Amino acid sequence: MSRMSQKHVLPLGILLLGTVALLLVWQTSRWVYQGTLDGLIASGNDRMTLYTGTLRSALDHYAYLPYVLSTNQQVLDLLQGKQSASEVNIALEHLNMEAGCEALYIMNDLGTTLASSNWRDPLSFVGHNYGFRPYFSRSKAGERGRYFAIGATTGQPGFFMSHSVWQGDRIIGVAAVKVDLTDLQDEWREGGETVLVSDTNGVFFLSSYHNWRYRTLEPLTEAQRILIQATRQYGRQPLDLLPLEGVDLLADGQRIVSLEGTRYLMMSRSLYDLNWQIHYLLPLGPAQERARAVLIIGVVLSLLVLALGMYLRERRQKLISRRKARDAVALVEMNKRLQEEIDEHNRTDKALREAQAELVQSSKLAALGHMAAGIVHELNQPIAAIRTHAASGRLLLERQETDKLRSSLTAITRMTEHLGSITVQLKTFAHKSPTFRESIVLQECLEDALTMTAALINEAEVSLIKDLPDTPLVIHGNRGRVNQVLVNLIRNAVDAMRVQTVKKLHVSMIVDQQQVVLSIADSGSGVRDQDMEEIFTPFFTTKEVGEGLGLGLSISYRIITDLGGSIRVLNNEEGGATFMVIFPGGPVVGDGDGR
Ligand code: ADP
């Protein structure tokens, strides 16, 4: 995922947290809802018990009256035609003034009302026949009548209770009581409660709400309608369905219903002896609101926490990117400085190289100059001498002085030989050493070299000390070249001792493992520390122009290393220098057969 898209997509952690928070909030709101509902059910049960009690007491209050009437002598006399109806009417009126029912009335065995407490009312029951009412039929059959209906005469609803009037074993009439339940319903309504009572057909005949009265719980079947019509139970009421929509069944007699957009907890309880059901409805609004409030608060809090989390994350990201930017700037700065340092270093390096090149060039030139001066000086002297001898030779020839001429020619020959030795030296330096090797007894080679330098040693008054083993030590190499090395070393030693008072030349030889070490030690000036490194480089010399070319040691070095040996110099503690030449080789058994 690119950085851009990463920035705009919520990170998985936050999404997960948000989901968990929402789930928790939802669950909490459900708990709150359930808790409130449980509370409502508990209080609903209490209220139902109370309302069932008030209903029962309202009915039971008058339950004894039909029986009392059925045993009344006047009533019996009336039904037997021994008593006039007007007297019974007055008696019933008086009795009801005490009892407080809607009406007390007596029907003959056909259901026609003979006397009634409301005989004075224009809508008096007297003369009306109620033989179609079920309560009459029941009492006619010797049972107690219990029945709720809208008055066929008055149009007023009421609860009818009846009792058969016996004469011996014959039912001669029915005594009935109509109880008005309007007050009870008013009480329910004033209490702000929704209480309904339904009959066997599911018709709500009692209701704290007027417009729910005579509505039905379920749609009525045709048979039910015909039956209700026949008994004129609910007059002309259309008995429409109360559109209670079942939402959830919680338990037997407890369910959630919805009516016109409002949800209710509906609790129902059966009144078995009456075949009725009492219903209690509690609006769920408060429970829903409480749950909703919890949900809203929870969601808002979750969103706030989420927003805070995102803000903190954003801030952290910003800080990190700011730090990164700072680091990047510092890195760039550091890189720049580093690059500058590298450039500076390169410049210095270049300048140094240039300076070094210049130095090399100038030292080369200086060395070349020195060498040229040396060569010129070395050659000039013999050439000038040759020229002088040649000129004097010509004069001597003219004068016929043959002896002198001879010695001049001899001098010329000696000079050319000297010249030859100089060029030989230079040649040695210029060409590769010959590959031809022979076995050389080093003692003999040293003796040769000492012989060649004997005049020099004597002239410089140097005392020579030899410390040589008797066993011939044999090395492999070119005799002439080795000789050249030794002569060169002896000369240098004598040169170094020229101004010294003690002049001692000590030559020695030892065998060390498979090597022969030849040492030439002098009591001269020694080699200066700063010259130690350069002493073997070509054209290095401390001698005056004409006294040395600075080639001797470098040539010697080359000759010895070509033989597989080495040459070293060290200063003696008591003064002077020692040159050690190390040859690969060793002693020869016998008298030197290896020669
Ligand atoms: P040259 O003798 O022509 O100067 P060499 O290469 O033989 O050239 O010697 C180089 C230099 O080494 C000499 O100029 C001298 O300074 C130094 N040197 C050689 N041998 C000795 C020695 N035995 N004692 C002190 N210095 C020496």
Backbone angles phi, psi at 537, to 5 degrees: -80, 150
Q: Would you say residue 278 has pLDDT above 90?
A: yes
Q: What is the pLDDT of residue 13?
A: 77
Q: What is the pLDDT of residues 193-241, one digit of tens each?
A: 899 999 999 999 999 888 899 999 999 999 999 999 988 899 889 999 9
CATH number of the domain bearing residue 233: 3.30.450.20
Locate 238 and state its tokens: 């259309």
Query: Are 265 and 293 found together in one domain?
Result: no
| The 3-state secondary structure of 377-443, one letter per residue | HHHHHHHHHHHHHHHHHHHHHHHCCHHHHHHHHHHHHHHHHHHHHHHHHHHHHHCCCCCCCEEEEHH
Out of 179, 205, 237, a domain closes at 179
Query: Are 78 and 148 found together in one domain?
Result: yes
More confident residue, 303 or 494: 494
Task: Output the ligand 1 site: residues, CB below 6 A.
Answer: 488, 492-493, 496, 522, 524-527, 535, 540-543, 548-554, 577
Q: Would you say residue 112 lies in a domain?
A: yes
Q: Would you say residue 6 has pLDDT above 70?
A: no
Segment 545-548 long-range contacts (CB within 8 Å, at least 24 positions apart): 545/370, 545/373, 545/374, 545/377, 546/374, 546/377, 546/378, 546/381, 547/495, 548/374, 548/495
Q: What is the pLDDT of residues 123-162, one digit of tens each?
A: 999 999 999 999 999 999 999 999 999 988 888 899 999 9
Query: Are 450 and 531 found together in one domain?
Result: yes
Q: What is the pLDDT of residue 10?
A: 63
Query: Are 192 and 228 found together in one domain?
Result: yes
Q: What is the pLDDT of residue 594?
A: 37
Q: Would you say residue 340 lies in a domain?
A: no
Its pTM stands at 0.50
Nearest CA to ligand 1 atom 22: 493
Instruction: Please name every residue paired with 466 in a beta bridge, in sequence order, or none if there are none.
Output: 507
Average pLDDT over residues 297-302: 87
Q: What is the pLDDT of residues 542-588, one digit of tens each?
A: 887 667 778 889 889 988 998 899 999 999 999 999 999 999 877 76
Q: What is the pLDDT of residue 493?
A: 96
Q: Would you say residue 250 has pLDDT above 50?
A: yes
Nearest CA to ligand 1 atom 16: 542
For 333, other C-beta atoms within 10 Å of its C-beta total 10
Query: Are 304 and 172 found together in one domain?
Result: no
Q: Residues 446, 507: contact at Cβ < 8 Å?
A: yes
Q: How far is the CA of 541 from the centre of ligand 1 (A)?
A: 6
Percent of the chain with pLDDT over 90: 54
- Name the average pLDDT for the chain: 88
Query: Are 496 and 575 found together in one domain?
Result: yes
Average pLDDT over residues 471-475: 91
How many angstroms separate the first and last alpha carbons of the chain? 89
Query: Are 46 and 77 found together in one domain?
Result: no
Q: Would you say residue 523 lies in a domain?
A: yes
Average pLDDT over residues 416-439: 72
Q: Would you say residue 414 lies in a domain?
A: no
Q: Which burial class, exposed, middle or buried, applies to 485 when counting CB atoms under 10 A from its CB (0-12, 13-18, 19+)? A: buried
Query: Are 452 and 565 found together in one domain?
Result: yes
- Total of domains in the chain: 4
With the most atoms of ligand 1 within 8 angstroms of its CB, the residue from 553, 555, 556, 560 to mutate is 553
With the most atoms of ligand 1 within 8 angstroms of its CB, the residue from 422, 506, 541 to mutate is 541
Residues of the domain holding 99: 65-179
Q: Residues 536, 461: contact at Cβ < 8 Å?
A: no
Query: Are 38 and 112 found together in one domain?
Result: no
Q: How far is the CA of 548 from the centre of ligand 1 (A)?
A: 8
Q: What is the pLDDT of residue 205?
A: 92
Q: Would you say residue 467 lies in a domain?
A: yes
Query: Are 129 and 158 found together in one domain?
Result: yes
- CB within 8 Å of 246: residues ≥ 6 apart: 255, 256, 257
Q: What is the pLDDT of residue 5?
A: 44
Q: How far is the CA of 133 from the centre of ligand 1 (A)?
A: 162
Q: Would you say residue 190 lies in a domain?
A: yes
Query: Are 122 and 243 found together in one domain?
Result: no
Q: What is the pLDDT of residue 326?
A: 92
Query: Are 252 and 196 found together in one domain?
Result: yes
Q: What is the pLDDT of residue 324?
A: 92
**Type and span of the H or E element at 569:** strand 566-571
Out of 230, 249, 283, a domain closes at 283
CATH number of the domain bearing residue 553: 3.30.565.10
Q: How far is the CA of 411 from the centre of ligand 1 (A)?
A: 29
Q: How far is the CA of 466 from the centre of ligand 1 (A)?
A: 22
Q: Would you say residue 235 lies in a domain?
A: yes
579 three-class SS:
strand
Q: Would you say residue 439 lies in a domain?
A: yes
Out of 145, 179, 213, a domain closes at 179
